[in-house]
Structure 1
Amino acid sequence: MEIADLPIPPDLAASYARRGITELYPPQAACVEAGLLLGKNLLIAIPTASGKTLVAEMAMHHQVERGGKCLYIVPLRALASEKFEEFSGKGLRVGIATGDLDRRDDYLGRNDIIVATSEKVDSLLRNRTPWLAEITLLVLDEVHLIDDPSRGATLEMVVAKLRHKNPAMQIIALSATIGNPGDLAGWLDAELVESDWRPVDLREGVFFQNGIQFADHNREVGRRSKYEDLDLVLDTVEEGGQCLVFVSSRKNAEAFAKRAASGLKLANPTLAGYADKIRSNAGTDMGRILAACVAQGAAFHHAGLAREERQIVEAGFREGEIKVIASTPTLAAGLNLPARRVIVRDYLRFNAGEGMVPIPVREYRQMAGRAGRPHLDPYGEAVLIAKSEEMVGELFDCYIDAPAEDVRSQCANEAVLCTHILSLIATNFARETGEVLRFMDGTFYAHCGESPRALARAVDRVLEFLREAEMITEVGEWLEPTEYGSLVSRLYIDPRSAEVIVTAMTGRKEYTDIGLLQLLCSTPDMLTLYVRRNDMYLLDRFLADHRDELWMEIPWDAGEGFDRSLKTALLLLDWANEVGEDTICERYNVGPGDVYGVVESVAWLVHASRHLARLFAPHLAGPIEEMELRTKHGIKKELLPLIRLRGIGRVRARRLFNNGLESLEALRAAGPEKVGKVIGQKIAAQVFEQLEGVRDEIEEVGEEQATLFRFG
């Protein structure tokens, strides 16, 4: 099927022609034949790199040309940014929504396409954002993640709410291969388009004793080192390809990257430039090790890296300069980084309470799907490594020839239901118990025939909790949100978190930094750090001197949960007291990316607790607001006046303060020339524009200043 024959806007057709796309792939043509451009709902379950995004893009442009508006939902912020860039510059107005979760963001309604995470869309629904009623096409990227235990229920409820709000809306759902696509298609009233066609042939095999066994042939891999996994990498690179190696842990990723770097021993000015960029940003041993690996053509990639480090690694790999990335499975889930050969070295992973367990088939498929770069590789290879001859057959049976698992709803989980039922009541989607249950009839859970009695019992228990917490009241048979309940719903925090915070605040006379931080780190919403045996000395020593500063009683049977909350709170306290990044990472045995994740996780809870304090403990609202800025920027209280200036971050504010420029008045008195000697003339000029433009009230810093390790 030719692009020129399709009823799509000329601007879009021209952009495809510039990229050399003149003909649809067979699965894309099947989508058009199934009614893609006729407003039909489709569930598209085709392999990675088979053109799912182009299908969605054609449908969006077709809708906009007819006066419609499109919402593209993704699971990850990084993926939202990637899609925003991909859709921009093709004749339509594109917006992105991933930020604050208590804003309506009405301005986004000016756009033709809005890219957002499911959590952001959920918050927009809770805050009654008007433009959501104008959506005529909903695209669900990675819809199979509806069975993710932590986030799947949010996606499911968002889809149910949007369908309730816009019943005529077209839905295009993009999925990996799953075991029960018919169930998902049935729930969405969608035509199922399935295919195993790929633009690059995928060869799947198992490596054992210097050879890869494929279904129809074997391939010998010569010995080049004393490590079999390294031999597989060197074999690929010698043939002009690149490798992704998936391992079970960060430690293993770093160890393999060092091994690959010593085996490759590449050196050129481009690699040296990447390494220098990483070194210039690196404040940790991890960053310095990464730079050394990249200089020789290898890298590791995991969530512990700083954002800038991950971006440099990804760019170097896309340019073909970095030849191998050793990664945890996070890379397979989100980013489009194909390679000639994908090596799944570790197919067992540690799960708390279970020990080492096999990865799911769907996760293996996600990794294997990265094999083969369209238009660059003649084929792609996905290779598992067997440790014995018996395991060769087992790996074929358990992964290569195995069907993918079914996706299952997560909506029966009471902990998850709590926040969503409160939002249904607070936003008038449901006003009595029967309406709540009828709304739930529109979920994937109900469609799959899961136990309606179990769901009804779970709903009853959730409603009882919300009544006891005074987040809802009953007026006759009607359920009404209280001021407290409406606030919790708008703030987009778990009602259980709100109850923990409010209980601790009520009656408290004095504020302490560690009391607030440890409280927030004890809530269900908070990401906390793993506690190692050698962390206990630090925790015990702190408790010996500061136990009275905590807002929560230490339970007599305090276990891992309390230890994790305290360790995380101490890291945040160090961050807010300007302890250096390298020191924090070493003290708590974490990477820069972990620090970023914890700061990002707590920032919203501090913001929410400030609003809750205004309602229940007004005397605490002021110091909590100060801590909100301190945790956001990593600064002591004394820098708060300076940090409110645009262009002044953690590093520049400290430089100014240490040079005696401690306030806005001091800056004005010093003049641009003196200030410029401290922070540079260009930034000084920007500062004085603000000082002259607004003398009494300095505009608060924008979202762009929150990037964690790029201050100054």
Structure 2
Amino acid sequence: MGTSEPVSLVGLVDQVVKLVRAGAGRFGYEQTPVMFGLVEGELTLPAGRKGDNYRAAFPDRGSIQTTGQIAELTGYGLAQEAVTAWSERIPDGLNRLQVAAINDHSLLDGKSLLVIAPTSAGKTFIGEMAALKTISEGRKAVFLLPYKALVNEKFEDFSALYGERLGLRIARCSGDWQDQVGGVLRGKYDIAFFTYEKFLSLAVTFPHLLNQIGLVVLDEAQFITEPGRGMVVELLLTGLVSARQRGVSPQLIALSAVIGDTNGFNKWLDCDLLMTTDRPVPLSEGVIDRSGSWTFKDDKGTHTSQLLGRLDIQQRGQKPSSQDVIVPLVRHLVKNGEKSSYFAMRAGLPLAAQNTLLVNLAFRRHRM
């Protein structure tokens, strides 16, 4: 529809065949449509034009532009219950990255997108919005994560918000005993979380799995550059890209940390690119020692402050360790309503290395 060139009838039939086979696969059947008759030469149809009847049946949502207010998302067909839950969770509304994903890259119109942005920039919520839109259209959404711990964390978070409150079926498949593989293979879910390896294994063993899916959110897409696990990410993405030849083309949202040159990554995925280096939430980087002294650097220079009281840090085991500092630090941040990420020295290092704990603190009121 809307093309300015005549439409090849043979090519149109080929597209219909692919869609029929993909649709049958969603119900566990295999169909191979056959076209009877003889066509000599090229058979074409006139160029399509969108008329009043078409616009009445398929309203053009692409003209909707959000200003960042959560309530406006109902205009894209998202459930009011979800929008209400988001409004309570994110009272300040969408940030610039999320607004750009909707307005400039048609996120909620089913367009695939590669998002490259720093930690805490709001990438995860972009995937959540796309997931709820997909579910509102009667399809399923899956999130692919690098670690079992992340799968379990997201499963718990989504179960509380979308399962208990909205009644959605949340599943996880990470290789643990509590996995719901059977239910996922039967399509008994709305949102499912997988580790990379588990999704690849199931997609290869049970090809019909892809036929059920309307959206794939690949989190931490920069793992494709990792020497060890990059091959797994590349294989599962290759499977998604090649499935398009069979008429199976779920929306793909790839979320990545800042990786510098994309090297044509988005072109290979055949999706839009949304990239920023802006960090909406300041990241304080510094060093805290066993006395509770916090030394950090910002645009104005190096500063030192007493973050913890000297009596707060106590030896917890037979030998001094980084845990002596981490525990009171966590208590201090939680008490102040902050969220943070920690990177601690590995156990077993010499005492001299453990006396200083390197910590990156990303303070944020709303983590999305």
How would you bin the TM-score normalised by the shorter chain?
0.5 to 0.7
Correspondence list, 1:187-586, <5 A: 187-202=268-283, 214=298, 216-221=299-304, 235=305, 237=307, 264-266=310-312, 298-299=325-326, 319-320=334-335, 327-328=344-345, 345=358, 370-374=361-365
1:43 is the counterpart of 2:125 = no
**Aligned-partner Cα distance in 2 for 1:318–1:152:** 35
**Aligned-partner Cα distance in 1 for 2:332–2:287:** 25
Which amino acid in structure 1 is aligned with residue 241 of structure 2? R
1:183 is the counterpart of 2:264 = yes
* Equivalent residues of 2:141, 2:191 under 8 A apart: yes
* Equivalent residues of 2:98, 2:126 under 8 A apart: yes
**Aligned-partner Cα distance in 2 for 1:327–1:49:** 20
Instruction: Select the structure of larger CA radius of gyration.
Output: 1
RMSD of aligned alpha carbons = 3.9
* Equivalent residues of 1:68, 1:112 under 8 A apart: yes
**Aligned-partner Cα distance in 1 for 2:150–2:280:** 22
* Equivalent residues of 2:115, 2:253 under 8 A apart: yes
Which amino acid in structure 1 is aligned with residue 134 of structure 2? Q
Structure 1 residue 318: deviation in Å? 6.3
Within the candidate set 156, 163, 183, 1:85 is matched to 156
* Equivalent residues of 2:90, 2:366 under 8 A apart: no
Within the candidate set 97, 109, 115, 2:173 is matched to 97
**Aligned-partner Cα distance in 2 for 1:314–1:212:** 16
Which ranges in structure 1 are unaligned for 5 or more consecutive residues?
Answer: 222-234, 239-262, 276-284, 301-312, 331-342, 346-366, 377-712
Structure 1 residue 163: deviation in Å? 2.8
Which amino acid in structure 1 is aligned with residue 363 of structure 2? G
Within the candidate set 206, 224, 237, 1:128 is matched to 206
Structure 1 residues 547-599: Cα deviation after superposition (integer angstroms, max 9, x where no partner): xxxxxxxxxxxxxxxxxxxxxxxxxxxxxxxxxxxxxxxxxxxxxxxxxxxxx
Higher relative contact order, structure no. (Cα contacts within 8 Å, ≥ 6 residues apart): 2
Structure 1 residues 465-522: Cα deviation after superposition (integer angstroms, max 9, x where no partner): xxxxxxxxxxxxxxxxxxxxxxxxxxxxxxxxxxxxxxxxxxxxxxxxxxxxxxxxxx
Which ranges in structure 2 are unaligned for 5 or more consecutive residues?
Answer: 1-67, 289-293, 348-355
* Equivalent residues of 1:49, 1:374 under 8 A apart: no
**Aligned-partner Cα distance in 2 for 1:49–1:105:** 31
Number of the residue aligned with 2:217 = 139
Which amino acid in structure 1 is aligned with residue 362 of structure 2? A
SS of equivalent residue, structure 2 residue 326: strand
Structure 1 residue 188: deviation in Å? 1.0
Higher strand fraction (1 or 2): 2
SS of equivalent residue, structure 1 residue 192: strand
* Equivalent residues of 1:45, 1:177 under 8 A apart: yes
Which amino acid in structure 1 is aligned with residue 334 of structure 2? E
**Aligned-partner Cα distance in 2 for 1:329–1:174:** 28
* Equivalent residues of 2:114, 2:253 under 8 A apart: yes
**Aligned-partner Cα distance in 1 for 2:346–2:266:** 27
Structure 1 residue 98: deviation in Å? 0.7
SS of equivalent residue, structure 1 residue 44: strand
Structure 1 residue 13: deviation in Å? 1.1
Which amino acid in structure 2 is aligned with residue 217 of structure 1? K
Structure 1 residues 453-473: Cα deviation after superposition (integer angstroms, max 9, x where no partner): xxxxxxxxxxxxxxxxxxxxx
Aligned identity (percent) is 30
* Equivalent residues of 1:74, 1:118 under 8 A apart: yes
In the superposition, the TM-score normalised over structure 1's length comes to: 0.34
* Equivalent residues of 1:73, 1:116 under 8 A apart: yes
* Equivalent residues of 2:119, 2:257 under 8 A apart: yes
Structure 1 residue 326: deviation in Å? 6.1
Number of the residue aligned with 1:5 = 72
Within the candidate set 128, 138, 155, 1:57 is matched to 128
Correspondence list, 1:630-709, <5 A: none
SS of equivalent residue, structure 2 residue 270: coil
Structure 1 residue 53: deviation in Å? 1.0
**Aligned-partner Cα distance in 2 for 1:104–1:375:** 30
Structure 1 residue 32: deviation in Å? 0.7
Which amino acid in structure 1 is aligned with residue 156 of structure 2? E
* Equivalent residues of 2:173, 2:192 under 8 A apart: yes
For the structure 1 residues 26 and 99, does the alpha-carbon distance in structure 2 shift closer, same or farther, using more than 3 Å as the test? same
SS of equivalent residue, structure 1 residue 114: strand
Which amino acid in structure 1 is aligned with residue 170 of structure 2? V
In the superposition, the TM-score normalised over structure 2's length comes to: 0.63
For the structure 1 residues 116 and 196, does the alpha-carbon distance in structure 2 shift closer, same or farther, using more than 3 Å as the test? same
Higher helix fraction (1 or 2): 1
1:106 is the counterpart of 2:182 = yes
For the structure 1 residues 157 and 26, does the alpha-carbon distance in structure 2 shift closer, same or farther, using more than 3 Å as the test? same
Structure 1 residues 353-401: Cα deviation after superposition (integer angstroms, max 9, x where no partner): xxxxxxxxxxxxxx85x5332369xxxxxxxxxxxxxxxxxxxxxxxxx
Q: How many residues align?
A: 270
* Equivalent residues of 1:49, 1:199 under 8 A apart: yes
